[in-house]
C-alpha cells in the first residue's frame, strides 16, 4: 500500500478518505478546519498541520477543494503542497478548477521532478458511499496506469481522457448538464403541479420515467425536501457553470441552456438561497410561477 495524503476534507473529500482507509491505505490528511476531520482521525487517518507536511509524508497526495483560488492557497507558499513534493512523488487534483490553471500547476509539479494528474469525479455523496463514483483522469498515461489501482479503491471506474487539464474539462462538460437537467425537471414538476397533480406524485412519475437519469433519481426528490447539508450548493454549481461558459467563449461554442440555467442560479443567490443544493432552482422557478415551496433564504446574496 502506498502512503497517501489528502488535502480538503469537505463533504466529498472526507468520504473519499473513508473509502481509502477502508481499503487499507495509510492516509495523512489536512483540512483548514481540523475539528471537522476528527471522525477520520478516529478511523486512523493522521492529521498534518500543513499541506506541505501532507506531501512530505506521502507518496501520492490528493487535493479536493472548492475552486481555483482555494487550490492555489494549499498549493503555493512555504507551507504549500508544492514545497513538499519531490522526484518520484505524485500529485492528484480532484477539484473542479480552470483547465488552464490545472495545466499551469502540472508544469510546476513536473519542474520539481514529481508528476501530476487531474482526476475529478462524477457522482454525489450517495454514489460515492455506494461505491459507484466514477473518475476521469488527465495527465501522463503511464502515471495513470501506476495509480489506477488506488483510484479504483475510490470508485469502480477511472477513465483516462488525455493530457493534463482534459479531465477537468470533461468534468465541466458533465456538470453543466446536471444543472440544465435539474431546471428541465423543475419545469416538468411545475407544469404538473399547477395543472392539479400533487407535487410528490409528479416527482414519483418523473424520476421513474424515461427522463430519470441517475442525477434526476437522487436529486429530483430534493424539490420535496432539501438535505440538511447541501451536496453541491448554488455557489459551487455556478462556479462550474461559469467555467463552462468561459470554455464556450474560448471554443466558439454557444451554450444557450447553460446560460439560462446560470441566470436561475444567480436568481437563487439574489433570493438568499445560495446555501441550498443547486436543486433549489426549482424554488426560483416556483416563485416566478406563483407556487409556494415553504423554504426561505438562509442569508443574503454576497
The 8-class DSSP code of residue 45 comes to P
Contact predicate 95/71, CB 8 Å: yes
**Spatial distance between the Cα atoms of 214 and 5, rounded to a whole number of angstroms:** 30
| End-to-end CA, the chain | 44
Backbone angles phi, psi at 20, to 5 degrees: -65, -40
Which class for 203: exposed (0-12), middle (13-18), buried (19 or more C-beta within 10 A)? buried
Contact predicate 222/235, CB 8 Å: no
Neighbours of 229 (CB within 10 A): 10
Catalytic residue among 18, 89, 171, 239: 171
Q: Is 146 annotated in the active site?
A: no
Q: What Rg, from alpha-carbon coordinates, does the chain have?
A: 20
**Spatial distance between the Cα atoms of 34 and 287, rounded to a whole number of angstroms:** 39
**Spatial distance between the Cα atoms of 224 and 218, rounded to a whole number of angstroms:** 12
How is residue 139 written as a grid cell? 495527465
Positions marked active-site: 171
Amino acid at each position: 500500500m502506498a502512503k497517501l495524503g489528502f488535502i480538503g476534507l469537505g463533504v466529498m473529500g472526507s468520504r473519499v478518505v473513508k473509502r481509502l482507509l477502508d481499503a487499507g491505505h495509510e492516509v495523512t490528511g489536512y483540512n483548514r478546519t481540523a475539528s471537522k476531520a476528527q471522525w477520520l482521525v478516529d478511523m486512523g487517518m493522521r492529521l498534518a498541520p500543513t499541506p506541505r507536511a501532507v506531501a512530505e509524508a506521502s507518496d501520492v497526495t490528493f487535493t479536493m477543494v472548492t475552486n481555483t483560488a482555494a487550490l492555489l492557497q494549499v498549493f503555493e507558499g512555504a507551507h504549500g503542497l508544492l514545497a513538499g513534493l519531490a522526484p518520484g512523488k505524485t500529485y492528484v487534483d480532484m477539484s473542479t478548477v480552470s483547465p488552464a490553471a490545472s495545466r499551469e500547476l502540472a508544469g510546476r509539479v513536473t519542474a520539481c521532478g514529481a508528476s501530476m494528474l487531474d482526476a475529478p469525479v462524477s457522482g454525489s455523496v450517495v454514489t460515492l458511499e455506494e461505491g459507484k463514483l466514477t473518475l476521469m483522469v488527465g495527465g501522463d498515461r503511464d502515471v495513470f496506469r501506476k495509480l489506477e489501482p488506488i483510484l479504483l479503491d475510490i470508485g469502480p471506474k477511472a477513465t483516462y481522457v488525455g493530457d493534463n487539464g482534459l479531465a477537468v474539462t470533461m468534468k465541466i462538460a458533465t456538470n453543466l448538464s446536471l444543472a440544465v437537467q435539474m431546471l428541465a425537471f423543475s419545469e416538468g414538476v411545475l407544469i404538473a403541479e399547477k395543472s392539479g397533480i400533487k407535487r410528490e406524485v409528479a416527482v414519483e412519475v418523473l424520476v421513474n420515467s424515461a427522463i430519470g437519469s441517475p442525477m434526476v433519481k437522487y436529486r429530483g426528490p430534493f424539490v420535496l425536501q432539501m438535505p440538511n447539508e447541501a451536496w453541491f450548493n448554488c455557489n459551487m454549481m455556478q462556479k462550474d457553470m461559469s467555467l463552462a461558459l468561459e470554455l464556450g467563449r474560448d471554443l466558439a461554442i454557444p451554450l444557450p441552456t447553460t446560460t439560462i440555467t446560470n441566470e436561475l442560479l444567480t436568481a437563487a443567490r439574489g433570493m438568499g438561497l445560495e446555501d441550498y443544493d443547486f436543486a433549489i432552482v426549482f424554488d426560483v422557478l416556483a416563485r416566478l410561477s406563483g407556487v409556494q415551496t415553504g423554504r426561505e433564504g438562509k442569508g443574503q446574496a454576497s
